[in-house]
Amino acid sequence: MDKYECKICGEEHNIFKAIKSPTPQRILEIKESELQQRVKKINNSFIIDDETFLLLGDIFISKKDTEEPFFIWPVWVSISLADFKSKAEELKEKKNVEFNGYLETAIPFYKKAKGLKVKTIVNISYDYAVIKIKEGSQLKKDQSEKITEKRVLEIMEFFYHPPG
């Protein structure tokens, strides 16, 4: 399923299975003159004010008739820098490490997704962290249950024809 006929406009649209996550809003809100002093960039991560670790990871959403993830949402999460540092030895040993944190990325298809509690699973063997939504929401439901084709189309209709 790569395209669908839109019930709203009648056009044939591509189904986007991933979207790029922009620079975290928390970084963009820092004055240009303060960036160098307050923000450290390490690979694809940021440390803000020596307190918060921002990490890029993926939310996987599967569809009922597939084994592989159907949607992959790259998102930013915030983790306490102290928590991250406390598990540095495990990371060096290439062990799976889990962190509690918060979703920093707004996802247009999910109202109030930004700020949801998450579990971030880091495995050094992978190029990405896996993000699991912990807080009750439509996003958690879609992640924990395989979604239907109807739900895929709802998400795409929102993408192409956002309300308001």
pLDDT reported for residue 92: 81
pLDDT reported for residue 21: 84
Q: How far apart are CA 136 and CA 132, in angstroms?
A: 11
Going by C-alpha positions, the residue among 78, 60, 88 that lies closest to residue 118 is: 78
Confidence of residue 71 (pLDDT cuts 50, 70, 90): very high
Confidence of residue 13 (pLDDT cuts 50, 70, 90): very high
The whole-number average pLDDT for the span 113-140 is: 91
The whole-number average pLDDT for the span 17-24 is: 86
Q: Is 164 a residue whose pLDDT tops 80?
A: no
Q: Is 136 a residue whose pLDDT tops 90?
A: yes
Element (H, E) at 117: strand 117-122
